[in-house]
Amino acid sequence: MRHIRGVARAVAATVVIGTSLTAGTAHAAQADENYAALGDSFASGTGTRDYFEDSGDCLRSPKAYPQLWADAHGAATFSFDACSGATTDDLNADQLGSLSADTTLVTVQIGGNDIGFADVIQGCLLGTDENCDSAVGDGEAATRDELPAKLDATYEGIRAAAPNAEIVVVGYPRINSTGDCGIPGFTETKRERINKGADVLAEVISERAEAAGFTYADPRSAFDGHGVCGDPEWINGPSTPLQESFHPNVTGHAEGYLPVVESAIG
């Protein structure tokens, strides 16, 4: 990750333990999985700097946690549908086609773009502490007032399209670490405020996942100390190209997300 001094703008598209199984039984079940991975840039692997050529603007990575899980557990079939920039509307329109009664496992990570994640990051990088507080507040309002209905409709659509699947809803990390930071103007106050917004998002997503009867995989503890300005960083700060900014890097997917998702899958 390379910080950009004097950054002019920023972009971002934007463990629950499952049923206990013996190692042999778990391996056998996972080897037979018909797995589909849905979601946005955090699920597609934007930030890893390594993408499948045929994924285009969706920026799907061979180093993203869904691909890592499918490879590690020998999934019988794997449909990698997550796409950078996706909202719940995009997921409902474009990512449900691969699901069927034969689908046995779905992971879904969505919601960050619906509540203006990129705008929040930009407002905090370029503005004052007060501007950042206002930007995060706007995102929190959208999270509480608008996102629940969008998630409910999305989860209902996934269940209807994959009636026999185990469905794991994957959350978002707190993207920042506190302490010394080499990003000009990215104060500790701003970083802490963004993290508080991430907690509000986690609360809403976990509540709606539970209401739908799905498992919630919470990555916040796994990423503690490894956010932007952490040591080591598992989430990129402002980067070149800009699309890599404020997304988990290769280590973030392999050592942050993958163990959390593995623990959540029953």
In a domain, 255, yes or no: yes
Q: What number is the average pLDDT over the span 193-213? A: 98
pLDDT digits (tens, 9 = 90+) for 216-258: 999 999 999 999 999 999 999 999 999 999 999 999 999 999 9
Query: Is 27 annotated in the active site?
Result: no
Domain count for the chain, please give it: 1
Among the listed residues 3, 73, 247, 253, the single catalytic one is: 247
End-to-end CA distance of the chain: 34
- Is residue 188 included in any domain, yes or no? yes
Rounded to two decimals, the pTM is 0.89
Q: Pick the catalytic residue: 3, 41, 226, 245?
A: 41
- 178 lies in some domain: yes
CA distance 251 to 159: 31
Domain membership of residue 123 (yes or no) is yes
In this structure, are residues 42 and 172 in contact, taking their beta carbons and an 8 Å threshold? yes
Check residue 4 and give its pLDDT. Answer: 30
Taking the CA atoms of residue 234, residue 46, residue 8 and residue 194 in that order, the dihedral angle to the nearest 10 degrees is -50
Task: Say which CATH number the domain at 84 has.
Answer: 3.40.50.1110
pLDDT at 52 over 60: yes
User: Would 147 be classed as within a structural domain?
Assistant: yes
Q: Cβ distance 66 to 43 under 8 Å?
A: yes
Please provide the average confidence, as pLDDT, over all residues in the chain.
90
Is the peptide bond prior to 66 cis by the omega test (within 30 degrees of 0)?
no
Percent of the chain with pLDDT over 90: 88
Which pLDDT belongs to residue 266?
77
- Residue 109 backbone phi and psi in degrees, to 5: -135, 110
Q: Given a cut of 80, is residue 10 above it in pLDDT?
A: no
User: What domain range is 59 assigned to?
Assistant: 23-210+229-264
Task: Please indicate, yes or no, if residue 100 is contained in any of the structural domains.
Answer: yes
Q: Is the pLDDT of residue 210 over 60?
A: yes
**Digit-coded pLDDT (tens) for 133-158:** 999 999 999 999 999 999 999 999 99
> What pLDDT does 30 receive?
55
Contact indicator for 122, 10 with CB cutoff of 8 Å: yes
Residue 216 is assigned to a structural domain of this protein? no
What distance in Å separates the CA atoms of residue 245 and residue 230, rounded to the nearest whole number?
Answer: 15
Q: How confident is residue 16, by pLDDT bands cut at 50, 70 and 90?
A: very low
Cα 115 to Cα 8, 143, 217: the distances in Å are 22, 6, 20
Catalytic residue flag (residue 41): yes
Q: What are the pLDDT digits (tens) for 163-185?
A: 999 999 999 999 999 999 999 99
CB 55 within 8 A of CB 79: no
In a domain, 251, yes or no: yes
pLDDT of residue 11: 34
Close Cβ partners of 124 (under 8 Å, ≥ 6 residues apart):
131, 132, 135, 136, 186, 190, 193, 194
Q: Per-residue pLDDT tens for 22-51? A: 333 333 345 689 999 999 999 999 999 999
Higher pLDDT, 24 or 55: 55
